[in-house]
Amino acid sequence: MSTSSPAFDPTTAPGCPAGRGAVRLSGTSYQQTPTELYRSLRSEHGAVAPVLLDGDIPAWLVLGYAELSYVTEHDELFARDSRRWNQWENIPADWPLLPYVGYQPSVLFTEGDEHRRRAGVITEALETVDQFELARDCRHIADQLISAFAGSGRTELMSQYVHALPMRAVVQLCGMPLSGDDTAQLVDDLRISLDAGEGEDPVAAYGRVGDRLRQLVQERRAAPGPDVASRLVTHPEGLTDEQIVQDLISVIAAAQQPTANWICNTLRLLLTDERFALNVSGGRLSVGEALNEVLWLDTPTQNFIGRWAVRDIQLGGRHIRAGDCLVLGIAAANTDPEIWPESYVGAENAAHLSFSNGEHRCPYPAPLLADVMARTAVETLLERLPDLMLAVEPEALRWRPSVWMRGLSELPVVFSPVTQ
């Protein structure tokens, strides 16, 4: 199959691996009305839908809760190393999803025993983080960020608070001092490499991130301290410097975007849903309930790419070929009508798949650390600015145009100015 042929239409081509009637994984309904969209995809295509990624590259979207649980539990059938993909010959060098899908020698793309080794080292390093200390550090970062805008009575929270807080917290957790010019530079370069703005160069920023983390690894080899980088370098598994740099980048990147969007989507819920009341401090439901509801209904990582089939296999009534790509439809699975009949979706438990599942799931202590960061971010903001309100009508809020991460472009708010 070639995507360059003008006569080719992959949404109708019978020989296309994704089959007849594939759906483009793009468009505004993935942002504006995702629950309805996933339900209609499911009723039309079943639990595993043929989709087209950017450039009309075929893949499968796993929408069913049971099917997604199966895929993530069986890494011997649905594996993580993207070099298995049967579409590489059709992928152009400037393909926009390449940064997420292109193989890198990090924990993300390793498999089997090597993955258990790498993920085990990260898990042990994260397990030693003291959650009370992390909460205290997050509180400190939150206070600093809030103080910068508290006197003005209005701000745009995404740029001034929501993205900055988990980034600073994770960088500090990894062993960079909280204050200092090179920490500020690293935080800024990470922001640019994950989410470049107009005129910024993500490739150059990514290069500087690698250089600074390489230096950090050398500093910690010479003088280990009580931080994640030191625990990685002193771990008896003896990872190389380059492996540690790759895994530090994975940890920071995997933590920042989802945690920031978890904070964003929780604040949006608290500020717009009357069950939580307009004036949040007077609301009837708690911040904890809002955080959990977001993981079911507005999950940060709404789709994740992905897994690659190890051999030909049937899944949800579809014939998946060896090397086919499967996108994990986390948002769709969380709202699957099979687990939530009668259109009701509740949030009474934590059985959502927002942290994925199985061998490659978000490593066990990470969801707890993310919870500490998100809870502290939301609670500190509401405590310091108790009459916080949206500065626009809820309908005017815009979701970022991404089918992968669910979060707002901007979250403008107003409040009574506070001088300290």
- Write out the residues near ligand HEM by the rule CB under 6 A: 72, 107-108, 119, 122, 250-251, 254-255, 258-259, 262, 295, 300-301, 304, 354-356, 360-363, 366, 369-370
Measured from the CB atom, the residue of 114 and 383 that comes closer to ligand HEM is: 114
**3 state SS of 28:** coil
CB of 417 to ligand HEM, least distance (A): 32
Measured from the CB atom, the residue of 107 and 171 that comes closer to ligand HEM is: 107
Measured from the CB atom, the residue of 220 and 360 that comes closer to ligand HEM is: 360
C-alpha distances (whole Å) from 186 to each of 201, 212, 223, 246 are: 14, 7, 20, 15
CB of 389 to ligand HEM, least distance (A): 26
CB of 253 to ligand HEM, least distance (A): 9
Measured from the CB atom, the residue of 70 and 415 that comes closer to ligand HEM is: 70
CB of 360 to ligand HEM, least distance (A): 4
Measured from the CB atom, the residue of 19 and 363 that comes closer to ligand HEM is: 363
Q: What letter would DSSP give residue 158?
A: I
Measured from the CB atom, the residue of 370 and 411 that comes closer to ligand HEM is: 370
CB of 207 to ligand HEM, least distance (A): 21
CB of 199 to ligand HEM, least distance (A): 29
Nearest C-alpha neighbor of 301 from the set 152, 385, 404, 168: 404
CA terminus-to-terminus distance, the chain: 63
Measured from the CB atom, the residue of 308 and 355 that comes closer to ligand HEM is: 355
Q: How far apart are CA 94 and CA 209, in angstroms?
A: 21
CB of 173 to ligand HEM, least distance (A): 8
Cis peptide before 306, with omega less than 30 degrees from 0? yes
Nearest C-alpha neighbor of 190 from the set 123, 242, 254, 122: 254
Kindly give the pairing relationship between strand 57-62 and strand 412-414.
unpaired
Instruction: Give 78-133 as a DSSP string.
Output: EE--GGG-TTGGG--TT-TTHHHHS--SSGGG--HHHHHHHHHHHHHHHHTS-HHH
Measured from the CB atom, the residue of 91 and 134 that comes closer to ligand HEM is: 134
> What is the amino acid identity at position 251?
V
CB of 391 to ligand HEM, least distance (A): 26
CA–centroid distance for 172 within its chain: 19
- State the CB neighbour count (10 A cutoff) for residue 43: 9
CA–centroid distance for 223 within its chain: 32
